[in-house]
Structure 1
Amino acid sequence: MKQAKKAARAFPYDEHPRLSLIVQSFNHVRNIDQIMRGLRQAEVDEIIICEDGSIDGSRERWAKHLKRRNDFVLLSNDLHEIRASDRAISLSRGEFICMIQDDDLLPPDGRWIQRALALFDAYPSLGCLGGFMGFRQYTWMHECFQNFEDGHESSPVCDNPIPTIDPRTGFPFMFIESVNIGPFFMRRSAFEAVGGWDFSYSDAGNPGMGYDHELGFRMWSSGFMTGLYYAPQYDSTFNELARKGGTYLWGREDRERAAETFPERLRQRYQDVYAQIRQRVDESNALLIPSSASYLEWPSRYRA
């Protein structure tokens, strides 16, 4: 107890963190040390673990790492992503929220977070921002873009690099209909304004495939924006580790069934407004600079 108090005093409680980071945890205990190294290196303001009933020792491993006053472990019993993360978001206090998964491989520094926050500052209407994959229309069956620089392998279903650069920050970035977790950043005020997650994407205890995609569409239809950026050296769920735990081993059939059905649900819900959403996306991307353009081809107002 004395050691815990001493550790907590070294990091005073932050009443108003800029970023709250939420980790979705389910049976990937071997990756926890790596995630925590990355989060501490990035100096994350607030960490909340959604520990959803792991049986591999994940709960105990998280507890060994989380000693600061803005560190939390939220225990639930097989609620799955939507409801567990909804509880965590309610607990969080950050102006921005970032969601990652327990099979992600984090970079050795905090540039992936710094870039995301800089893009939110540059675009006040940006509601959510992904650093993994972005999708035209309703899913990977259509045009898909991915962060796969730095020698990382691309997803087997998504092999287009981000084609534009944001002139305000100089970062690879594009506007797009939807993105997926993780990293998956949200502006809290926008998330609350559009009504939060759509709980109809799964019952408690079933995978919530597509709920992140749906939020991207809802941001556009509600006057906000969704974007995809290059998160330096971030390796998400197509790495080999992802296939050694979590829902790849527990509940895989439910996961695959949900992945097959959600694109049609998205299409049915947004087909009447998709043309307007696509127009907004295209108009927003017209403000960006092709990544093939040289610096001298940038508009003069963006050249120092």
Structure 2
Amino acid sequence: MEWKNIYRGMLMGASDVIPGVSGGTIAVLLGIYDRLIAAINGIFSKDWKKQLGFLIPLAIGVGTAILLLSRLIEWLFEHYAGPTQFFFLGLIIGILPYLFHQADAKSTFHTKHFVLLVIGAILIGSMVFLQPDEPAVIKDITMSTYILLFFSGFIASSAMILPGISGSFMLLLIGVYPTIIGAISNLRLDILAVTGVGILIGIVVMSKIINFFLSNYRIGTFALVIGLVIGSIAVVFPGWPTTTSLLFLSIGAFAIGLFVAYILGRVEYTD
């Protein structure tokens, strides 16, 4: 078991609670994205024990973070949304040099790869123009609601595994985000089970698609992934603080994000 993945999973789980921040982005930042995709695809292979040794600690970390930190993240997002987003902004910007280093961009990137990078950045950056209204919690749970929750989980997990695309943001667009967050806080097992099945199936299906491109077009896929991460900067950026105290708080949060990115870079990207 790769128990180190518990803390990695906790970072991914905490980010997945926040609309605009992608667990896939965090996986890229941690340097485990391609390993994650390969592990999900390898569950049904002869090396399934090895893949589970990677995935189980990661899943424990994700689940723990979502259960324990969902209320904290909700509170931070409600009362200190700007500084919280500035922290993730610092994290994303701070780790970008390591991503380019990991991809060996100086040697491997050609014009077509930079075009893919720009396309990825524009694709995700354009999501900043989507401003979904905050939906209400669904209280009257019917069979059609369960069907909606299943497909919401499928769509959100497909987005979750793509860097730069926030699963929580997709849930907001669909209109079920408060319902699912409320189910996590109040342990509504029926809602969690139906949504969870959709999430699992979505992760498996999307990982197979991504694995195909990583296996056959590795450098191009990395270029696109880095572009998706760069584009997420525009989505995460909350706007400039309106008060002096909030400005200093946001600068501090951004600096902490940069520092955490530096530490992660030293730990995850250098031997």
Query: Shorter-chain TM-score: which interval?
Result: under 0.3
Q: Which has the higher helix share?
A: 2
TM-score, structure 2 as length reference: 0.26
Q: Which has the higher strand share?
A: 1
TM-score, structure 1 as length reference: 0.24
